[in-house]
Structure 1
């Protein structure tokens, strides 16, 4: 599967549990919508993923990627320390200038 560089980096940093590098995949004003919560800006995104990494130890395996301009959907299998693992999730992404500007995670 041919993924854009920033998406490959997002997956790599998640699987390495590197919350700083993960947050660096996002613009300064990016927004993440996940599990009914909104995380605004790089700092909140870094705190959110660091907490999630500690609690769930989740890794992601890309299954499919569809791109339409700046809009993309990354389908991943997520496996970790949570009920129902593994689960398939869709990451609805907006990417501009090589950085992620928003992600909405659905499952």
Structure 2
């Protein structure tokens, strides 16, 4: 599987628990949608991923990547301290200028 560098960096940051590197994968105006909540910009994204990591201690393993001209969908196996672990989640991303501009996580 050939994964774009920004997505590879995102996965590595998630797995190491580095919320700053995770947030730096996003544009300044990026939007993240997860569990019915929306986070805008790097500061909110960093705060969200810090809380999620502390709460769930999640690790990601890429399973499949589907790319089109305008978006990427990364299927990942996620393990952690949440009900139903492990689970397969889909990360719907739009990448612009080698940064993630939007991310929606679905089950």
Q: TM-score range by the shorter chain?
A: over 0.9
**Structure 1 residue 69, shift from structure 2 partner:** 1.4
CA RMSD of aligned residues (A): 0.5
Q: TM-score, normalised on structure 1?
A: 0.99
**Structure 1 residue 15, shift from structure 2 partner:** 0.3
Q: How does 1:84-95 map to 2 (within 5 A)?
A: 84-95=84-95
- Once residues 79 and 22 of structure 1 are traced to their aligned partners in structure 2, the CA distance between those partners, rounded to angstroms, is 18
- Once residues 25 and 77 of structure 1 are traced to their aligned partners in structure 2, the CA distance between those partners, rounded to angstroms, is 20
Q: Say which SS state the counterpart of residue 12 (structure 2) adopts.
A: helix
Q: TM-score, normalised on structure 2?
A: 0.99
Which 5+ residue runs of structure 1 have no aligned equivalent? none
Q: Does 1:42 align with 2:42?
A: yes
Task: Could you list the structure 1 runs, at least 4 aligned residues long, displaced by more than 4 angstroms after superposition.
Answer: none
Matched-pair contact (CA < 8 Å) for 1:70–1:96: no
